[in-house]
Amino acid sequence: MKQINDYKDKNVLVFGAGLSGTNAAKLLIKLGANVTLTDAKPASEIADFDELVKAGVKVVAGKSPLSLLDNVDLMIKNPGINYDVPLVKAAEDKKIPVIVEIELAGEIANAKLIGVTGSNGKTTTTTMIAEMLNAGNEKGKAYRAGNIGISATKVAEKATSNDEIVMELSSFMLLGITTLHPHIAVVTNIFENHLDYHKTRENYINAKMQITKNQTADDYLVMNFDREEWRKLSKRSKARVVPFSVKGNYEDGAYQHDGKLYFRDEYIMKAKDIRIPGEQNVENALAAIAVARLSGVSATEIVKVLKNFGGVRHRNQFVLSSNGRDFYNDSKATDIEATQMAIEGFKKPIILLAGGLDRGYTFEKLEPDFKKHLNGIVLFGETAQLLKDSAQKAGVPQIKVVDNLDEAVPVAYEMSKPGEIVLLSPANASWDQFPSFEIRGDQYIKDVEKLTGKKEE
């Protein structure tokens, strides 16, 4: 970790006592700052409360009054806290800088930074990259961090100049950076997402493209070139653009041609040899291949990783097989495009479980995929009736609406036949019935295990 004096004797307010906030507070104490951490949760619900207090952090729990901003030099906020929240808005009105934990991590990191963002595929791509880099590393180690659920500051503290930090970066995180500078930035794709936070698609796109704002001509932007919009967005960057594509032969990047994967005309492997199914995972693999080859990892090591990579939990994750049915957990599919990608990735007929939080959109985009791939659909949550309308228009032969996921699993099994896929890919956020997509996916796995009498493989 770099020894910096920028925070010595500064008064820093950390807003939000989640993983990023508590680790940022601990680091700031080490850097000589005067730190106050605040959260609406009571002290009993704040992780590491006693440790924080013992370290010298002033913890204000159960409330976050505007008076906390008196004499504050800097605010570090949880990325999920909206800028409309009174305490954040008041800080900005007072011209107090507002950043997020990844910005602090970038300032202290000795390791090379690789940043990964996008609407879909971030976690899978981040994990593929880290595994490829570790396969090719002789001296250092590639660490994952960021939105993947691993504190960026904690990783940055231990990483050395021989290491790499592969950061998964959400749009919420990227809004809170000023100097973060990944040597290689990856944009997997940009669809329409999180408009409840960003208000407009343009704002969302601008947040995503923050990943390249501090890059120079000595850096790389690995960008999905399968849509004209994304090709145009790449022109915003000062970095050297390295395209990847499953549709076009971009010979200065990574691409698929006739079912084979290449990087700059170097043959890597056949797409069908990637262990996890789906065109979206070919895209993710191409992005990871580009980063790995730019980092000097051999094609041989890359192939070994992709032939053995079993995917990431809750992202088109194979759960188990029972009586000729294959069960998959794609709970991370919290938008329409992610569910489209999941459905299109399977060759066998599908019984789909879907539904969740109503964010105000409808599901016409899914109708062609419903028509082509589904033998049945089981729906739950706030959007169940909207999805039912689209399923009926698509002519899905079996449609059921149930109250919750626990009811959906046995109904989906009864609909299915040997040789079919039973797939949870909700196309919606989980928050109407579950605190997170992870908890939703875990519940699906438990329900499948209970139904089949088998354990997750």
Taking the C-alpha atoms of 270, 276, 278 and 284 in order, what is their torsion angle to the nearest 10 degrees?
-80
Query: Would the annotation count 149 as a binding residue?
Result: no
CB atoms within 10 A of CB 382: 16
99: Cα separation from own chain's centroid: 20
Is 160 annotated as a binding-site member?
no
Cα separation, 205 vs 191, in Å, equals 9
CB atoms inside a 10 Å sphere around CB 332:
26
Which residues contact residue 452 at a Cβ distance below 8 angstroms, ignoring those fewer than 6 apart? Answer: 320, 322, 323, 327
Any known ligand binding at 122?
Answer: yes
**Does residue 188 come out as left (phi exceeding 0), alpha (psi in the -120 to 50 range) or beta?**
alpha
Q: Which pair of tokens denotes residue 144?
A: 């994952």
* 224 annotated as ligand-binding: no
d(CA 271, CA 282): 7
**Reduced to 3 states, what is the DSSP secondary structure of residue 1?**
coil
Q: How far apart are CA 250 and CA 92, in angstroms?
A: 43
Question: b vs e for 167-195, b when ≥16 Cβ sit within 10 Å of the residue's Cβ?
Answer: bbbbbbbbbbbeebbbbbbbbbbbbebbe
- 163 burial via Cβ count (<10 Å: 0-12, 13-18, 19+): buried
193 labeled binding residue: no
Structure tokens at 457: 């493989």
| CB neighbour list of residue 368: distance below 8 Å, 6 or more residues apart | 394
124 is in an annotated binding site: yes
Distance CA 222, CA 253 (A): 8
Angle, alpha carbons 300-256-343 (nearest 5°):
105
Residue 278 annotated as part of some ligand binding site: no
Is residue 113 exposed (0-12), middle (13-18) or buried (19+ Cβ within 10 Å)?
A: buried
Q: Decide the pairing of beta strands 266-270 and 260-263.
A: antiparallel
Task: Show Cβ contacts of residue 268 under 8 Å, excluding neighbours closer than 6 positions.
Answer: 254, 260, 261, 262, 289, 299, 302, 303
Quote the tokens at residue 77. 């906020």
φ, ψ at 56 (rounded to 5°): 110, 10
Annotated binding site for ATP: 118-124
Annotated binding site: 118-124
